[in-house]
């Protein structure tokens, strides 16, 4: 018991000795950004972010949980929510009904009903509707669309401008 108390006291002392900005950035809880959240929207979070309704930060790395997540710049980690929005590059996974990245290149997976990778994706998009400016990997869904495919599309209808077969193909399309 004495060792546990000593360990807790040491941890508390280390947290209070850290600058406030560093201690705050590990955990974010928000109800509705930018006004009702612990860390300001123009700050970064590295650790755990829980967004009860809507949360926003500049960068996020770690685990993102909640309904609507917005990262105005880069995101790395796992985003689990109804809506995952990334204004920059994404590295990791987005799991939600609607996923969107806007950065010049994302690496990982988007799993949702609707997936958009405006700057392209290296990895996979798995959903009902998938669209990316370029795909290096796999698109698996009912409708898949990209002008620049380097990989495989599997779905009811597949659009790939640079396809090895045809720009529009049912069931499967590819370009390697």
Q: What are the residues whose beta carbons fall under 8 Å from the beta carbon of 156, sequence distance 6 or more?
A: 142, 143, 170, 171
Rounded CA-CA distance 101/1 in Å is: 49
Residue 38: predicted pLDDT:
95
Residue 10: predicted pLDDT:
38
Tell me which of 89 and 5 has the higher pLDDT: 89
Residue 165: predicted pLDDT:
94
Residue 105: predicted pLDDT:
86
Number of alpha carbons in the 13 Å side-chain half-sphere of residue 137: 23
Whether 73 contacts 56, CB under 8 Å: no
DSSP 69-119: EEESS-EEEEEEEEEEEESS-EEEEEESSEEEE-SS-EEEEEEEEEEEETT
User: In the predicted model, is pLDDT for residue 155 greater than 60?
Assistant: yes
Q: Which pLDDT tens digit goes with each residue over 10-69?
A: 333 333 333 444 434 899 999 999 999 999 999 999 999 999 999 999 999 999 999 999
Instruction: Please confirm whether the linkage preceding 34 is cis (ω < 30° from 0).
Output: yes
Residue 32: predicted pLDDT:
95
* 148-157 mean pLDDT: 98
Q: Which pLDDT tens digit goes with each residue over 99-143?
A: 999 999 899 999 999 999 999 999 999 999 999 999 999 999 999
Q: What are the residues whose beta carbons fall under 8 Å from the beta carbon of 55, sequence distance 6 or more?
A: 28, 30, 33, 37, 49, 66, 68, 69, 70
């Amino acid at each position: 018991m004495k060792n546990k108390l000593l360990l807790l006291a040491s941890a508390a002392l280390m947290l209070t000795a850290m600058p406030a900005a560093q201690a705050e950035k590990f955990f974010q809880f928000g109800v509705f950004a930018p006004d009702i959240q612990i860390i300001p929207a123009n700050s970064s979070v590295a650790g755990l972010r829980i967004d009860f309704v809507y949360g926003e930060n500049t960068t996020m790395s770690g685990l993102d949980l909640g309904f609507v997540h917005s990262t105005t710049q880069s995101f790395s980690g796992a985003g689990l929510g109804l809506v995952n929005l990334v204004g920059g590059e994404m590295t990791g996974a987005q799991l939600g009904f609607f996923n969107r990245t806007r950065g010049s290149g994302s690496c990982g997976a988007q799993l949702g009903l609707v997936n958009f990778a405006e700057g392209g994706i290296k990895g996979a998009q798995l959903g009902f509707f998938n669209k990316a400016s370029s795909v290096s990997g796999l698109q698996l869904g009912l409708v898949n669309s990209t002008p620049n495919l380097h990989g495989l599309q599997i779905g009811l209808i597949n659009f790939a401008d640079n396809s090895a077969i045809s720009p529009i193909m049912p069931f499967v399309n590819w370009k390697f």
